[in-house]
Amino acid sequence: MKNFYKMKLLSSLIITIASSSSMAAYATYENNLWEKGTTEILSHEELDILKNEWDSQIMIYNRNAPGTLVNEITRSVNFISGERGRNCFSQPPEYIEVSVDGGKSVASNIYSSYSEVDDFFESANHVGAGGTFGKFSASASYKKSMAREVHDISDSTSAVFKISEETNALQYNGWPEIHPYPRQWLNGSEQGKVNFRNFCGDGYIDKVTAGKSLNLVIDIQSESKSVIERKGVAAEVKAAFGLFGASAGSSQMEELKKYQKDYSFFMKAYLEGSRVPVSDINLDNVYSRLVEFENEGTAYAKLISFTSQRYDPPNWGDDHATVFANVSIPLETIEGWRKHMDDQYYPKCNNASGEISSICIQTQEKYNEMETNCSNASSWDACIPVDSNICKLEGGTSCNDLINYDNTPPPPPQPTWKVIYSGTPTTKQFTLPSGVRSIKINGVVRLADYSVSESKIRECQGGPIYVTASCKVGVNSLSVQGCYDKVSHGAASQCNAVTVIADGRVRKLEVLQ
């Protein structure tokens, strides 16, 4: 039995010694990689080894708040891809609470191009001149893909809507000192610059904003209705969602359901900082989901945006361009590619067929390749401008070959509007001919009754008084009737005279059959 315990103890000792030797060898190998990176470009595998060591052994101070807003402060940022990486500073992040700028907002609109909806959802990342700073959406890639899935963008029949609420923001308030391990790569060598950027990005997050948002795209389609009719419905959708939160919002959304017979409403939603289900969102449940989103509060608020600053040189007075890899050239290159995709690819390649479809596929593949090449400093030699003579698609044609194709469908025949009345403003009732598809009153398409109102202030000694005149213009498939209301108050001992007119009279009436 004694021999058994001796053997077990000896075995344990051998294992311990072997394990310690292995760890020491591993640590030595890692140290050699840090040193190697000062003169040689490290491979992806070698960088991964250092990243694993960094996350598990070196940067342990951020383990106490994983996934929180605090833990985002001073994380590294790739200014080209917007990807967030590890913290490369030598000290835990110091920060202060700052007031949020946006608060709560509700917005709706109609768009006619991909770039417009991209701007509306603030999904585009914005980097300052020369790559000095950046403002990023935390979910830019998803919002972009959501916008690109919408049909018939060129027909202007898609309404967009968003509710956003910023809850809190943190601002970095420390001294940005780079950790000695990656700092040793900033020794002036080009290899060290590349390794530093691949490990620490182009800058660090200096401000994070948390909150919640709901982004919604509603595409209106119809096989029987004209573009102008779909635009009219899109305008009503925009108005209904723009009133969300007001008493009229629910009733106006209910009114939209009357169009389901002739129109199809395709909805795509994306949530941040919320657990409201939206995968099955449609015209029947959209209002209740919006109310649920409103009532949910901000218990699940998450990172929605962040700003960043480029790193300062470790030594005072050093020129940034001589210390760090110059991101401005690849950044300019990929921005050129993104503009080409917005201006040429998305308008021409949606449901493309024939010869252009092959060019579209090759362009998308080349763009994906350039996103990778331009984002990684190790492959900047292969980050080629879209209009460069040496940039070729798989088939051998120029990378910007799409500019030689016109895939724009011929404009649809313009509808012929029949003038029913044109003359002196009137409130008379007009009987409409049968089969009317759309109605235009005084040059504006109208699909239902609408109110006209006007207000003025009457100045009185006791304070201002609002005087309002209002009336309703009657609109249906059978008739149209204008309206007119005039409210007058003469001068009094304590108030001035005022006259207010709500003019809903018909000056010109047109119908589309």
Q: Is residue 459 part of a domain?
A: yes
> Do 433 and 475 lie in a common domain?
yes
> Do 448 and 490 lie in a common domain?
yes
* Cα separation, 441 vs 298, whole angstroms: 44
Q: Is the pLDDT of residue 271 over 80?
A: yes
> Do 447 and 507 lie in a common domain?
yes
DSSP 57: I
> Do 370 and 395 lie in a common domain?
yes
Confidence (pTM): 0.66
Average pLDDT over residues 349-353: 78
* pLDDT computed for residue 304 by the predictor: 83
Average pLDDT over residues 298-307: 84
Last residue of a domain, one of 358, 387, 413: 413
* pLDDT computed for residue 218 by the predictor: 84
> Do 428 and 475 lie in a common domain?
yes
Q: Is residue 277 part of a domain?
A: no
Q: Is the pLDDT of residue 10 over 50?
A: no
* Cα separation, 97 vs 70, whole angstroms: 10
> How many Cβ atoms sit within 10 Å of the Cβ of residue 150?
19
Of the listed ranges 132-136, 178-182, 208-212, 418-422, the one predicted with least confidence: 132-136
Q: Is the pLDDT of residue 507 over 80?
A: yes
> Do 408 and 443 lie in a common domain?
no
* Cα separation, 165 vs 161, whole angstroms: 14
Number of residues assigned to the chain = 513
> Do 373 and 445 lie in a common domain?
no
Of the listed ranges 146-160, 179-193, 393-407, the one predicted with least confidence: 146-160
Q: Is residue 148 part of a domain?
A: no
Q: How many domains does the chain have?
A: 2
Last residue of a domain, one of 373, 390, 413: 413
Q: Is residue 212 part of a domain?
A: no
Asked whether the beta carbons of 304 and 211 are under 8 A apart, the reply is yes
Q: Is residue 150 part of a domain?
A: no
Cβ neighbours of residue 161 under 8 Å, at least 6 residues apart? 107, 108, 215, 216, 217, 218, 238, 241, 242, 244
* Cα separation, 436 vs 168, whole angstroms: 53
Pairing of strands 126-127, 264-272: unpaired
The CA angle 283-112-163, to the nearest 5 degrees, is: 50
Q: What does 315-370 look like in DSSP terms, one character per residue?
A: STT--HHHHS---HHHHHHHHHHHHHIIIIIHHHHTT--THHHHHHHHHHHHHHHH
> Do 422 and 508 lie in a common domain?
yes
* pLDDT computed for residue 45 by the predictor: 93
Q: Is residue 53 part of a domain?
A: no
Q: Is the pLDDT of residue 428 over 90?
A: yes
Of the listed ranges 3-17, 93-107, 265-279, the one predicted with least confidence: 3-17
Q: Is the pLDDT of residue 58 over 50?
A: yes
Average pLDDT over residues 134-161: 60
Average pLDDT over residues 71-95: 87
Q: Is residue 114 part of a domain?
A: no
Q: Is the pLDDT of residue 367 over 70?
A: yes
Highest mean pLDDT, choosing among 89-103, 226-240, 426-440, 444-458: 426-440
**Which range of residues forms the domain containing residue 484?**
418-512
Greater confidence (420 vs 9) lies with 420
* Cα separation, 194 vs 378, whole angstroms: 6
Residue 230: is it exposed, middle or buried by C-beta count within 10 angstroms (0-12/13-18/19+)?
buried
Asked whether the beta carbons of 266 and 221 are under 8 A apart, the reply is yes
> Do 371 and 435 lie in a common domain?
no
> Do 348 and 390 lie in a common domain?
yes
When the pLDDT of each residue in the chain is averaged and rounded to a whole number, the result is 80
Q: Which of 304, 330, 374, 309 is nearest to 89 (CA)?
A: 309
Checking 140-145 for CB contacts under 8 A at 24+ apart, the result is 140/82, 142/270, 143/118, 143/215, 143/270, 144/118
Last residue of a domain, one of 357, 380, 413: 413
Highest mean pLDDT, choosing among 256-260, 266-270, 320-324: 320-324
Average pLDDT over residues 435-448: 85
Q: Is residue 456 part of a domain?
A: yes
Name the pLDDT band for 6 (thresholds 50, 70, 90): very low
Helix (H, G, I), strand (E, B) or coil at 233: helix
Q: Is the pLDDT of residue 15 over 50?
A: no
* pLDDT computed for residue 233 by the predictor: 84
Greater confidence (511 vs 29) lies with 511
> Do 423 and 506 lie in a common domain?
yes
Highest mean pLDDT, choosing among 150-159, 269-278, 307-316, 404-413: 307-316
Cβ neighbours of residue 411 under 8 Å, at least 6 residues apart? none
DSSP 219: E
Q: Is the pLDDT of residue 286 over 60?
A: yes
Cβ neighbours of residue 219 under 8 Å, at least 6 residues apart? 150, 151, 152, 157, 158, 265, 266, 267, 268
* Cα separation, 202 vs 178, whole angstroms: 12
